[in-house]
Amino acid sequence: MENKPFHYDGSVQMNYEKDDRASSSIPFELTDEMRKNIGTNPYSTEEQE
């Protein structure tokens, strides 16, 4: 069953240990611009300042 397709129900799980260690060593900085973009509705029709 190695060729089993990926499903959203989680029936196929991959081992991401190597990727997790690599991504945790990279520092992440959340900027004010990121906070502004996260906190807004991308589908709103209002003008953003």
| pLDDT given for residue 19 in this prediction | 54
Per-residue confidence (pLDDT) for residue 5, from 0 to 100: 65
Query: Angle at the Cα of 27 (from 23 to 31), degrees rounded to 5?
Result: 120
What are the tens digits of pLDDT across the range 2-49? 666 666 666 655 655 555 555 667 788 889 988 888 877 778 776 655
| Gap between the Cα atoms of 18 and 11, Å rounded | 21
* Residue 23 DSSP SS3: helix
List the one residue out of 23, 21, 1, 28 whose CA is nearest residue 13.
1
